[in-house]
Amino acid sequence: MQGQGRVAYLANGHSLDVWRHPEFRSLLIRAIAWSSGAELPAHPIRCGLLGYGPAFNMGRGHAGWINATPGLQTVAMCDAQPARVEAAKEELPGLAGYFTDLDQMLAMNDLDLVVNILPHNLHAPMTLRCLEAGKHVVLEKPFCIGVDEADAMIAKACEKGLMLSLFHNRRWDGDYLTIRDVVSRGLIGEVFHIECGQGGYGHPGFWWRSDKAISGGVMHDWGAHFIDWILNLAGGKITQVMGDFQKRMWHSVTNEDHGQVVIRFDNGVVADYWTSTISALGRPKWLILGTKGAIQANWGDEITLVSYASGVRHEGKVPVKLPSYGSTQYYRNVADHLLMGEQLLVTAEQARRVILVIDAAQRSSALGTSVSLADGYE
Ligand SMILES: NC(=O)c1ccc[n+]([C@@H]2O[C@H](COP(=O)([O-])OP(=O)(O)OC[C@H]3O[C@@H](n4cnc5c(N)ncnc54)[C@H](O)[C@@H]3O)[C@@H](O)[C@H]2O)c1
């Protein structure tokens, strides 16, 4: 052998299936980059948490997922409540900065990325400040309250050449991945109807999530996950949205009690989702009909599959893919994108579509008619 250089040898690319597999492709791209001398940056991507709330300990969760991802590191946190800063000092000792004001955290030179974990009405304004300060942003769901906010954030990220990604961690949930797998194998034929929902009967509680001015409304919470799932499963362009919001019982809070959206796609798929605090009986989490079968799933560790794909009826249970490491897989992709230029899996444009649907559903409900979405709303 002569000269100096790096050789990467991959021996398993012998069938088309392998070449089409996203993980093999990314391995190949990494091998090419490494053999041609690409080096990783000297330091990890330094992340600051904006919001360290007590409701679900999401700040602590994000710090754990970030620190479990080689190439990323939590270096700072900020929460307006001093008590939450004290909690972070105990739970995340040794950070370079603990702040009660975003401007102080943004003034840190050695901060690359902010994770925005704030109530929904603060998603857009605080993200815009982070982008303006030159920081990449990971934003918790939902992207924002209105489409105009989504457009402003996307424009700012483009102008500054920064990453803006949404924390759609539930794309890695076991039941959703299992459903996608069953659908992509053709076991229920062509999907034409998707029905899903969640909720129950009871006062939603006195917290910011029930305050429409802060939360955006009843569909901005779980709806962000369900609508993202629907858009990924349905595939086509959205053509029409019908929404229905009901306010009948819980007048001590401003969120709607019940919200429904029916989405039509240009490939003929119709999806119907509702979220409710006044549904005394529920519907299954998922009911998906295809030309050769159907899937039903209800939060358990298996899904019911009926398939006529082989010509005869088969009914069985498919175990849900476990364990699910969605949040760390999400951050793995963020690191791969920022450090190695790999494709970002959850883009701001995808997240905008979710807000577009909720916005159209609210308009439709107010108008009492379906709303058509013009070309461009893919
Ligand atoms: N992806 C998921 O699975 C998941 C789960 C739970 C929550 N979330 C999302 O996380 C976000 C936060 O929800 P949460 O449950 O952590 O709420 P929370 O009420 O527990 O926390 C919000 C925190 O923001 C702080 N805050 C408010 N205004 C601030 C400001 N101007 N500057 C700094 N800090 C400020 C508050 O002091 C509070 O500690 C929401 O978008 C929610 O939908 C996502």
Strand pairing category for 293-297 and 286-290: antiparallel
Domain ranges across the chain: 45-168+328-342, 171-325+354-372
At 143, give phi and psi (nearest 5°).
-50, -50
Tokens of 48: 């600051």
What pLDDT is recorded for position 155?
Answer: 98
Tell me the three state secondary structure of residue 305.
strand
Distance, CA of 236 to chain centre = 19
What pLDDT is recorded for position 97?
Answer: 98
What pLDDT is recorded for position 376?
Answer: 42
Residues of the chain with pLDDT under 70: 1-2, 13, 323-326, 374-378
Alpha carbon nearest to ligand 1 atom 25, residue? 51
Regarding the beta carbon of 216 and ligand 1, being less than 6 Å apart is answered no
Q: Which strands make up the sheet holding 45-50, listed edge to edge?
A: 97-99, 72-78, 45-50, 113-116, 136-140, 164-167
Tell me the pLDDT tens digit for each residue of 206-261. Answer: 999 999 999 999 999 999 999 999 999 999 999 999 999 999 999 999 999 999 99
What's the angle, vertex CA 52, arms to CA 285 and CA 83, rounded to 5?
A: 130
Regarding the beta carbon of 55 and ligand 1, being less than 6 Å apart is answered yes
What pLDDT is recorded for position 9?
Answer: 87
What pLDDT is recorded for position 325?
Answer: 62
Class for the domain spanning 45-168+328-342: alpha beta
112 with 138: CB under 8 angstroms? no
Residues β-bridged to residue 293? 290, 307
CA-nearest of 130, 140, 145, 147 to 166 is 140
CA-nearest of 295, 282, 287 to 178 is 295
Q: Which residue has the tokens 């559903």?
A: 361
What pLDDT is recorded for position 377?
Answer: 46
Alpha carbon nearest to ligand 1 atom 40, residue? 119
d(CA 91, CA 377): 43
d(CA 2, CA 321): 48
Q: How many other C-beta atoms can be found within 10 angstroms of the C-beta atom of residue 51? A: 23
CA-nearest of 271, 277, 211, 259 to 363 is 259
What pLDDT is recorded for position 374?
Answer: 65
Q: Is 180 left (phi over 0), alpha (psi -120 to 50) or beta?
A: alpha
Tell me the pLDDT tens digit for each residue of 54-66. Answer: 999 999 999 999 9
Q: Indicate the CATH number for domain 171-325+354-372.
A: 3.30.360.10
23 burial via Cβ count (<10 Å: 0-12, 13-18, 19+): exposed
302 with 318: CB under 8 angstroms? yes
99, 140, 167, 207: residue to mutate for ligand 1 pocket, most atoms within 8 A of CB: 140
Regarding the beta carbon of 51 and ligand 1, being less than 6 Å apart is answered yes
Regarding the beta carbon of 117 and ligand 1, being less than 6 Å apart is answered yes
d(CA 310, CA 119): 49
Regarding the beta carbon of 54 and ligand 1, being less than 6 Å apart is answered yes
306 burial via Cβ count (<10 Å: 0-12, 13-18, 19+): middle
What pLDDT is recorded for position 288?
Answer: 98
Regarding the beta carbon of 143 and ligand 1, being less than 6 Å apart is answered no
Tokens of 358: 């909720």
Q: Which residue has the tokens 């019911």?
A: 304
Alpha carbon nearest to ligand 1 atom 17, residue? 53
Residues in the chain, total = 378
